[in-house]
Amino acid sequence: MSSETASFTDPQFLATFGLSRINAIEYFLHPLNPFRSKNETGNEVLAMQGISISLLMHHGIAGRHQSGPLSLERAEDEYNAALSRLQGEQYELLPPPLQPKLGANNNNDNNSMIDPSQSKLFTIRHVVRSNNKVTTLGIYYILEGIIYKSPSARALMKFNVARTCQGLVEACDTLSVCTNYTPTTGYYWDFNAKPKPMKRERSKDEKDEVEIYNQLRKMKRNSMVVDKKRRPGEMTEEEEEATRAKDKINAILIRMSKSSLVKN
């Protein structure tokens, strides 16, 4: 399966811990997630140091006596700051998109927007940090507990071109039944013309019946030619057998020719 169409979910993790911005990074770093890097990431280094968004929210920043528990926004800022001091591959949890509440007016009022902590869409960016330079390697989404990889620009372009071509083909097929030609007026359009009904696809049994009919006709053409003026007693045994077989073939062909399947 292509990485752009694959997905990953762990129902056991979701049932045990749930999913929020607090543990979205930990969920993405699941050992069975096919999208995670095989190299050690900065997130795993921080985890070994006891630094995560969850721990920052509950215990604050280690070494600061007046830190205390942090809010979700402050914990994310501190976690991102800790990541920025490391080198190598990292996964960043991007800020949540502003989503209007159902039935809310389309304005900039913060009261009409969904609380970011209640959002069910999480965006994770895979980057490589080196010498204050950050290179993006990929974008991933977590929606309703399912991890997807963001499609590449090539995949999006290919999809749009294919959809455009399909639309053009359908438009040409629709217009093809409207065009007419006469020697006197040339080509003209009749947009009230009805499309011709499509020919029904024959089933396997129907195809087999037509094939048997064609084979019998071929056998009849290749059958032995017998002189009809000769009496049955004057024919050889082989000629009499051929005559009986030909009569049976004729009877079958007559019966099958009455079927609409074999009529041309």
212-242 per-position pLDDT tens digit: 666 666 666 655 555 555 565 566 676 677 6
pLDDT category of residue 172 using cuts at 50, 70 and 90: confident
Indicate whether 132 and 209 sit together in one domain. Answer: no
Task: Find out whether 113 and 51 touch, Cβ atoms under 8 Å.
Answer: no
Indicate whether 139 and 158 sit together in one domain. Answer: no
149: β partners:
140
Mean pLDDT within 29-34: 93
- The answer to whether position 52 is within a domain reads yes
Indicate whether 95 and 165 sit together in one domain. Answer: no
In the chain, where does DSSP find H-type helix?
11-17, 24-28, 42-48, 53-59, 72-84, 153-176, 204-222, 237-257
- The answer to whether position 2 is within a domain reads no
For the whole model, what pTM was predicted? 0.55
Number of domains in the chain: 3
Query: CA neighbours within 13 Å on the CB side: how many for 250?
Result: 7
Tokens (6 digits) for 182: 């006469």
Name residue, tokens 């019998």.
Answer: 216
- The answer to whether position 18 is within a domain reads yes
pLDDT category of residue 198 using cuts at 50, 70 and 90: low
User: Comparing 21-35, 99-113, 203-217, which segment has the lowest mean pLDDT?
Assistant: 99-113
Domain that holds residue 18: 7-99+111-150
Among 87, 119, 150, the domain boundary falls at: 150
Which of 178-187, 200-209, 231-240 is the most confident on average? 178-187
- The answer to whether position 105 is within a domain reads no
Indicate whether 167 and 247 sit together in one domain. Answer: no
User: Comparing 29-33, 216-220, 244-248, which segment has the lowest mean pLDDT?
Assistant: 216-220
Indicate whether 141 and 75 sit together in one domain. Answer: yes
Indicate whether 71 and 58 sit together in one domain. Answer: yes
pLDDT category of residue 86 using cuts at 50, 70 and 90: very high
Indicate whether 145 and 157 sit together in one domain. Answer: no
- The answer to whether position 263 is within a domain reads no
- The answer to whether position 1 is within a domain reads no
Residues 30, 9: Cα–Cα separation, whole Å? 9
Task: Find out whether 40 and 58 touch, Cβ atoms under 8 Å.
Answer: no
Task: Find out whether 226 and 239 touch, Cβ atoms under 8 Å.
Answer: yes
Name residue, tokens 């006709």.
Answer: 217
Indicate whether 160 and 44 sit together in one domain. Answer: no
Name residue, tokens 């993790």.
Answer: 13
130: β partners:
133
Please compute Rg for the chain using Cα positions: 37
Q: Is 204 exposed, middle or buried (0-12, 13-18, 19+ CB in 10 A)?
A: exposed
pLDDT category of residue 41 using cuts at 50, 70 and 90: very high
What is the reported pLDDT for 218? 67
Mean pLDDT within 168-174: 82
Indicate whether 127 and 158 sit together in one domain. Answer: no
Closest CA to 114 of 104, 122, 123, 126: 104
pLDDT category of residue 4 using cuts at 50, 70 and 90: low
Q: Return the percentage of the chain with pLDDT > 70, whole number.
A: 62
Between 50 and 179, residue with greater pLDDT? 50
- The answer to whether position 216 is within a domain reads yes
Indicate whether 55 and 92 sit together in one domain. Answer: yes
What is the reported pLDDT for 1? 47
Task: Find out whether 148 and 141 touch, Cβ atoms under 8 Å.
Answer: yes
Residues 250, 255: Cα–Cα separation, whole Å? 9
Q: What is the pLDDT of residues 124-141, one digit of tens each?
A: 999 999 988 999 999 999
Indicate whether 143 and 75 sit together in one domain. Answer: yes
Q: What is the pLDDT of residues 88-118, one digit of tens each?
A: 999 999 988 665 655 555 555 555 555 555 6
Between 77 and 230, residue with greater pLDDT? 77
- The answer to whether position 29 is within a domain reads yes
What CATH number did the domain enclosing 139 receive? Answer: 3.10.450.580
Task: Find out whether 157 and 26 touch, Cβ atoms under 8 Å.
Answer: no
Indicate whether 12 and 141 sit together in one domain. Answer: yes
The answer for 158, left when phi > 0, alpha when psi is -120 to 50, beta otherwise, is alpha
Q: Is 252 exposed, middle or buried (0-12, 13-18, 19+ CB in 10 A)?
A: middle
